[in-house]
A and B are shown apart, each in its own frame.
Chain A
Amino acid sequence: QQQVKQSPQSLIVQKGGISIINCAYENTAFDYFPWYQQFPGKGPALLIAIRPDVSEKKEGRFTISFNKSAKQFSLHIMDSQPGDSATYFCAASMAGNTPLVFGKGTRLSVIA
């Protein structure tokens, strides 16, 4: 049973455009929802994260939108740049030394 479903699997966006990646979760005990960026051969790096008590969080060009009732959250990358080309993973976890559960990832390509 996949606990975190991520879409799309791949995404091509023009430079300057908006990249949108979506995730849905099933376990209502999850209360932490981060997004990670991973480049080939590297470990994942935290981009931005949100808790269920807010519906949106923005950090620079990155925004998380969170819909608790729908059990969905999304990442928006504004003014996408070629350097943003990477694989993005959504994840979820709950309190108490529990591991992150990852979505399957989205390969983003930003083309000039």
Chain B
Amino acid sequence: GAVVSQHPSRVICKSGTSVKIECRSLDFQATTMFWYRQFPKQSLMLMATSNEGSKATYEQGVEKDKFLINHASLTLSTLTVTSAHPEDSSFYICSAEKEDTPYGYTFGSGTRLTVV
């Protein structure tokens, strides 16, 4: 089955530093990847949609300069949280849609980011 590998699973960083989260589709090509953020005891909220080779589309209220998304290949998308602050502490989850497979959403295992 389709697998999305997300790393790191947990990261603690100091306020003001940047953190990169990677999502790789291991056995399929993902033309589209979605990035979600989930605060404790809340639902998954879409942050942005990235398509391979083009700029990401950000949801309203998500700062594109703070949350940099790169989807340089059909198997890798990265989310960089720049100048992180404690309020950015959250659970970040990626989801990849398999090429030519409608509704073939596969989720990564998530990254717990704690900014201290």
Contact A44 B107 (CB under 8 A): yes
Interface centre among B95, B107, B112 (most CB of A within 10 A): B107
Contact B42 A105 (CB under 8 A): yes
Q: Which of B43, B46, B91, B112 contacts A99 (CB 8 A)?
A: B46
Instruction: Give the shortest distance, in Å, between B28 (CB) and chain A (any CB).
Output: 14
Contact B93 A43 (CB under 8 A): yes
Instruction: Give the shortest distance, in Å, between B58 (CB) and chain A (any CB).
Output: 12
CA–CA, A46 to B6, complex, Å?
Answer: 17
Instruction: Give the shortest distance, in Å, between B53 (CB) and chain A (any CB).
Output: 14
- Interface size (A, Cβ < 8 Å)? 21
Count of CB-CB pairs between chains A and B under 8 Å:
50
Contact A104 B51 (CB under 8 A): no
B residues whose Cβ falls under 8 Å from a Cβ of A: 6, 31-32, 34, 41-46, 49, 51, 91, 93, 95, 97, 102-103, 105, 107-110, 112
Q: A42-B109, A44-B93, A97-B97 are in contact. Are A49 and B44 (CB under 8 A)?
A: no
The residue on A at minimum CB distance from B108 is: A43
Contact A100 B95 (CB under 8 A): yes
Instruction: Give the shortest distance, in Å, between B26 (CB) and chain A (any CB).
Output: 14
Instruction: Give the shortest distance, in Å, between B4 (CB) and chain A (any CB).
Output: 8
CA–CA, A43 to B34, complex, Å?
Answer: 13
Contacts of A34 in B (CB 8 A): 103, 105
Contact B103 A99 (CB under 8 A): no
Contact B103 A93 (CB under 8 A): yes
Interface centre among B41, B44, B93, B107 (most CB of A within 10 A): B44
Q: 11 more A-B contacts (CB under 8 A) besides A34-B105, A43-B93, A97-B49?
A: A34-B103, A41-B91, A41-B110, A43-B108, A43-B110, A44-B44, A95-B102, A100-B95, A102-B45, A104-B42, A105-B42
Contact B110 A99 (CB under 8 A): no
List 21 contacting pairs A-B, 8 Å CB cutoff, sorted by A. Answer: A32-B103, A34-B105, A41-B91, A41-B112, A42-B109, A42-B110, A43-B6, A43-B108, A44-B44, A44-B93, A46-B105, A49-B103, A93-B105, A97-B32, A97-B49, A100-B34, A101-B46, A102-B45, A103-B43, A104-B42, A105-B43
